Amino acid sequence: MESISIQSSPGAETLTAVEIENLIVNFIATNLEVDPAGIETDVTFDRLGVDSVVAVKIVMELETKLGREIDPTAAYDYPTIETLAQYLGSPT
């Protein structure tokens, strides 16, 4: 798998994988108007109603929250909430 460049910016927030998971779950629940309890973190994004446009919106949201640039292909290379959050989260 290709490495993905992430450029940290000053003042970037570090969040754990679990916190990032919650962020993504809440984003999907709010935007698709679904119950967050029903969102599984180990299924692929398309099963959660995330198409290519929503995937980019999630990446944009994470860029804002984490204060750093994220390659939009991250959602393809790490296609579940769990794997994406682990990839982006700080080690706990």
Partner 1 sequence: MSSDSINSPATEASPPWDPESVFSHRTLTRNQRIHAIAITSIPAVGTIIALCLVPVWGLGWLEIGLFLGMYALTATGMEVGFHRLLSHRSFRVGPVTETVLVICGSMFTLGPAINWVSSHRRHHAHTDAHGDPHSPHLHPKTFTGRVMGFIHSYVGWIFGNESTNSASYSKDQLRNHRIVRLSQLYYYWVLLGIALPAAVGGMIEGHWTGAVVGALWGGFVRIFVSHQAAYSLTSFSHLFGSRPFKTRDRSTNLFVMAIPTWGQSWHNNHHAFPSSAMLGLRWWQIDPAGYVIGVLRLLGLAKDVKRPSNEEIARQIARSRELSSARS
Nearer to partner 1, 1 or 33 (CB): 33
Our finding on whether 70 is near partner 1 (CB under 8 A) is no
Enumerate residues 40-59 that contact partner 1 by CB under 8 A.
46-47, 49-54, 56-57
Q: Is 6 helix (H, G, I), strand (E, B) or coil?
A: coil
Whole-number Å distance between alpha carbons of 67 and 49: 26
Residue 73 to residues 33, 58, 59, Cα–Cα distance (Å): 25, 12, 9
Binding residues for partner 1, how many (CB under 8 A)?
Answer: 17
- The encoded tokens of residue 43 equal 């299924």
- The encoded tokens of residue 13 equal 């927030």
Our finding on whether 60 is near partner 1 (CB under 8 A) is yes
- Give the binding site for partner 1 (CB under 8 A): 31-34, 46-47, 49-54, 56-57, 60, 72-73
